């Protein structure tokens, strides 16, 4: 039968087996078909292998144990993620290292700023850093200036005195200490030749049960004059002071022969009310002679000469060819003043020396200061009276 593809013996529809007129023919045809399919499959497989081998081999950018492998789409995705994570890790590590370096670099600055804010020197700290210490002979450690002045005022002036007198004494003592020690660089003796000093234990022993009240009064006077000194031409003065004058203070020239403009003789009549204003001391003639390098006879007391200066004190004493200064006589006889008179009592055979005043008489009289304070004078007024043309200023210890 005619078909569009011709006769059945000549054509078969695509993908179908031809209809055979006999079994043998059919078998032969089937066998041939199988061989054709087999050959075709072999050819297709071979072609596929050739096509795959013709494609260039892509090597992995990542290796494990230096082994290379072909990348499939799944492998490529994994590698991309791994690369991103690796780069992120490096970036994070870099940021961390930079941050650490920055932190270490800024640490000293941060600590410095903290120190500046939290521990910045206050006025008190600065003052402590510049504090002056006084070395007192016999004391184990140096003493802060104001503590030293406390001990001097307690030792040199009766605590019963008015506060203004104590304040005047504090300023004079502070000035004398700084001048004598060159701002704490030289030691000072705690004696009447310099300034008497009592430490806290000595003050407690002297005042016993009155210590708390007395100490409070002294410390207040010190604190109210803290750092104040006496200056002349912007220089510390030699702020000499004494207990009681003979009614008139001694000048620097009268005492030592050296004139100082701020240490002139002034009237101090109120000192006559001092319990230390006058005194009498006696010796037997034998005791008297034991003190002198020459032998005295009863008649010598009538011919001894005393030369008096402008303040009423003995400038020098002469016996024959022997001459002594008033200060030498005072030291030799251990009498309180250079304003003295010598007499001999023939009836008793005793030598008598009478004195007026107590101390060298130069500068501020302590009992005179007390009298002025009792009359309402301030510490400044007291000091300007006994020390002429001076200024009262606060020192800057940090500049010394």
Residues of the chain short of pLDDT 50, as ranges, are 1-30, 32-44, 47, 54, 56-71, 109, 111-123
Q: Please give the angle made by the CA atoms of 54, 58 and 63, to the nearest 5 degrees.
A: 145
Please report the DSSP string for 53-65 in residue order. Answer: HHSPPPBPS--BT
160-184, pLDDT tens digit by residue? Answer: 999 999 999 999 999 999 999 999 9
The answer to whether residues 387 and 257 belong to one domain is yes
The pLDDT of residue 108: 54
Residue 81 lies in a domain: no
Residue 43 lies in a domain: no
The Cβ-side half-sphere exposure at 24, using a 13 Å CA radius, reads 0
Q: Please give the angle made by the CA atoms of 196, 202 and 207, to the nearest 5 degrees.
A: 105
The answer to whether residues 234 and 340 belong to one domain is no
User: Structure tokens of 25?
Assistant: 């023919």
Residue 79 lies in a domain: no
The answer to whether residues 157 and 238 belong to one domain is yes
Q: Which helix (H) or strand (E) holds 302?
A: helix 300-303
The pLDDT of residue 13: 40
pTM of the model: 0.68
The answer to whether residues 297 and 227 belong to one domain is no
Residue 336 lies in a domain: yes
Rounded to an integer, what distance in angstroms lies between the CA atom of residue 391 and that of residue 252?
A: 19
Domain count, the chain: 2
The answer to whether residues 288 and 152 belong to one domain is no
Q: Strands (DSSP E) along the chain, which ranges?
A: 133-134, 143-144, 228-232, 235-236, 241-242, 278-284, 305-308, 314-319, 322-325, 340-345, 350-356, 364-365, 391-394
Rounded to an integer, what distance in angstroms lies between the CA atom of residue 77 and that of residue 316?
A: 121
The answer to whether residues 141 and 252 belong to one domain is yes
Percent of the chain with pLDDT over 90: 65
The answer to whether residues 337 and 375 belong to one domain is no
Residue 60 lies in a domain: no
3-state secondary structure of 26: helix
**Domain limits for position 229:** 133-267+362-399
Residue 15 lies in a domain: no
Rounded to an integer, what distance in angstroms lies between the CA atom of residue 291 and that of residue 345?
A: 18
The answer to whether residues 246 and 374 belong to one domain is yes
Residue 259 lies in a domain: yes
Measure the CA dihedral 177/183/189/190, to 10°.
40
The answer to whether residues 170 and 140 belong to one domain is yes
Question: What is the distance of C-alpha 371 from the center of its chain?
Answer: 41
The answer to whether residues 283 and 261 belong to one domain is no
- Cβ-Cβ contacts under 8 Å for 223 (sequence gap 6 or more): 146
Q: Are 361 and 379 in contact (CB under 8 A)?
A: no
The answer to whether residues 368 and 392 belong to one domain is yes
The pLDDT of residue 303: 96
The answer to whether residues 228 and 314 belong to one domain is no
The pLDDT of residue 201: 96
Residue 299 lies in a domain: yes
């Amino acid at each position: 039968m005619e078909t569009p593809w011709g006769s059945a013996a000549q054509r078969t529809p695509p993908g179908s087996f031809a209809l055979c007129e006999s079994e043998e023919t059919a078998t032969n045809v089937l066998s041939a078909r199988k061989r054709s399919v087999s050959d075709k499959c072999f050819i297709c497989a071979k072609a596929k292998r050739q096509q795959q081998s013709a494609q260039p081999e892509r090597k992995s950018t990542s290796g494990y144990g230096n082994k290379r492998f072909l990348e499939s789409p799944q492998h490529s995705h994994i590698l991309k993620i791994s690369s991103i994570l690796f780069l992120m890790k490096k970036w994070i590590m870099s940021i961390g290292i930079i941050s650490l370096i920055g932190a270490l670099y800024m640490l000293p600055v941060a600590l410095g700023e903290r120190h500046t804010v939290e521990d910045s020197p206050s006025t008190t700290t600065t003052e402590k850093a510049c504090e002056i210490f006084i070395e007192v002979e016999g004391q184990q450690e140096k003493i802060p200036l104001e503590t030293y002045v406390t001990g001097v005022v307690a030792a040199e002036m009766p605590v019963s005195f008015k506060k203004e007198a104590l304040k005047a004494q504090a300023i004079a003592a502070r000035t004398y200490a700084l001048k004598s020690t060159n701002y704490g660089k030289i030691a000072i003796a705690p004696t009447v030749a310099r300034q008497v000093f009592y430490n806290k234990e000595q003050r407690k022993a002297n005042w016993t049960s009155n210590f708390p009240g007395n100490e409070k009064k002294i410390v207040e006077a010190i604190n109210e004059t803290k750092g104040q000194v006496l200056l002349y031409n912007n220089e510390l003065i030699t702020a000499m002071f004494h207990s009681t004058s003979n009614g008139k203070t001694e000048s620097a020239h009268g005492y030592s022969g050296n004139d100082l403009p701020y240490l002139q003789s002034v009237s101090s009549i109120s000192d006559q009310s001092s319990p230390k204003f006058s005194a009498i001391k006696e010796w037997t003639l034998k005791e008297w002679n034991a003190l002198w390098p020459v032998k005295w006879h009863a008649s010598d007391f009538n011919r001894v000469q005393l030369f008096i200066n402008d303040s009423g004190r003995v400038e020098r004493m002469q016996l024959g060819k022997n001459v002594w200064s008033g200060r030498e006589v005072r030291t030799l006889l251990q009498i309180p003043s250079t304003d003295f008179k010598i007499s001999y009592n023939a009836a008793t055979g005793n030598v008598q020396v009478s004195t007026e005043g107590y101390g060298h008489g130069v500068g501020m009289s302590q009992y005179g200061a007390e009298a002025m304070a009792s009359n309402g004078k301030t510490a400044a007024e007291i000091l300007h009276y006994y020390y002429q043309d001076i200024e009262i200023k606060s020192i800057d210890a940090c500049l010394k």
